């Protein structure tokens, strides 16, 4: 039997509403890609979420380019 896997991509996920959206999606069972143009801030945010055992990965992305 296969289990559906939900994946979400959240841009601007390293702070504010984006960060909270990443957190809520992950808490509800989604695999979340946290996208940010600042790798330092993005990695810090991902590490903080992973400390809560949430399934979050970082993706460096600048949607302006």
What residues does each domain of the chain span?
7-38+47-60
Give the global pTM: 0.89
Report pLDDT for 42. Answer: 96
The tens-digit pLDDT sequence of the chain (65 residues) is 567 889 999 999 999 999 999 999 999 999 999 999 999 999 999 999 999 999 999 999 998 86
Under 8 Å between Cβ of 14 and 41:
yes
List for the chain the helix, strand, coil content (%; round to 5).
Answer: 35, 25, 40
Distance, in Å, from the CA atom of 36 to the CA atom of 39, rounded to the nearest integer, reads: 7
């Amino acid at each position: 039997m296969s289990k559906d896997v939900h994946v979400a991509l959240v841009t601007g996920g390293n702070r504010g509403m984006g960060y909270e959206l990443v957190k809520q999606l992950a808490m509800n069972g989604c695999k979340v890609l946290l996208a940010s143009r600042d790798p330092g801030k993005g990695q810090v945010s991902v590490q903080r979420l992973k400390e809560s055992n949430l399934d979050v990965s970082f993706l460096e992305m600048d949607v302006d380019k």
